[in-house]
Amino acid sequence: MPTRGIRGAITVSTDTKNEVLSATSEMLKEISAANPGLRPEDIASAFFTVTDDIRSVFPAEAARYNGWKNVPRLCAKEIPVEGSLGLCIRVLLHWNTELAPEKIKHVYLKRAKKLRPDLVNNTQE
């Protein structure tokens, strides 16, 4: 079975544990809703990144609260490119699925929509 990547990103207004975990949970739920058939047992791994201004909590912790206890997770910092979007959480999920790459739905929420306007669904918040 092939492994496909699913990208997602969301922003927070402030770096607090509650807001980071809540936003990460929202992003993961939106990714799951956009990709029917996505189950935690089919996710090979999840790679989360945050911008330099997020230090309150590891966003991967939110995955555990969403039932992804056995999904290997890793967090890292984004490269601090001058002028880049701040207070941003990103994820790359590695999903074992037979779906073709063009059938995968990537999710960009809040101010992160401007990262990939070509992939943003107009129904995304």
90 is catalytic: yes
65 is catalytic: no
Annotated catalytic residue, options 90, 102, 111, 125: 90
Annotated catalytic residue, options 19, 26, 78, 111: 78
Nearest-5° Cα angle at 93, 86 to 9: 20
CA distance 69 to 81: 32
Annotated catalytic residue, options 19, 26, 75, 111: 75
Annotated catalytic residue, options 7, 19, 26, 111: 7
98 is catalytic: no
CA distance 80 to 100: 33
111 is catalytic: no
Cα–Cα distances in Å, from 13 out to 37, 68, 100, 102? 31, 25, 35, 32
Annotated catalytic residue, options 19, 26, 61, 64: 64
64 is catalytic: yes
* Active site residue ranges: 7, 64, 75, 78, 90, 108, 116
